[in-house]
Structure 1
Amino acid sequence: MNTAKAEMQSLLQKLPDDCTFEDIQYHLYVIEKVRKGIERAESEGVISQEAVEARLSKWATK
């Protein structure tokens, strides 16, 4: 697993030179949300596409 410092360096190398602090914060936010989502999926499991569609069909209006 990469260290936080290594991940930050990698992110900064990928962003354009004229990026703003807000751009950096946004990308850090997205990376953290994705990481947490993956961790949650690994610990709690996932559900199938069919199950999602069945659940949503109860709320969606046609």
Structure 2
Amino acid sequence: MSAIKQEAQKMIHNLPDDCTYEDIQYHLYVIEKIKNGVNRAENGEITSHQDAKQRMAKWLSH
């Protein structure tokens, strides 16, 4: 069995019995985004705190 499939099964097993399909989709989405972020950071694809603040200032000033 692939590691991804095992991880998904473990995640589903840890959800409450009354979870919905949307709950499962959301948790899979969050796990994927976290893993992508970690991989990008490990590959040096990062933004400094100052650059992030400058980029966000454009959004927050409107």
TM-score of the aligned structures, taking structure 2 as reference length: 0.70
Are residues 1:15 and 2:18 paired? no
Aligned positions of 1:1-62 closer than 5 A: 3-46=3-46, 49=49
Distance between the aligned counterparts of 2:4 and 2:55, measured in 1?
37
1:27-55 deviations in Å (ceiling 9; x for gaps): 00000000000000000254565675677
SS in 2 for 1:8: helix
- The CA deviation at 1:19 is 0.2
AA partner of residue 18 (structure 2): D
Comparing 48-57 and 34-43, the one that deviates more: 48-57
Gaps of 5+ in 2: none
User: In percent, how many aligned pairs have the same letter?
Assistant: 46
Q: Which has the higher contact order (CA 8 A, sep 6+)?
A: 2
User: Quick one: distance in 1 between partners of 2:56 and 2:17?
Assistant: 42
- TM, length-normalised to structure 1: 0.70
> What is the count of residue pairs matched by the alignment?
60
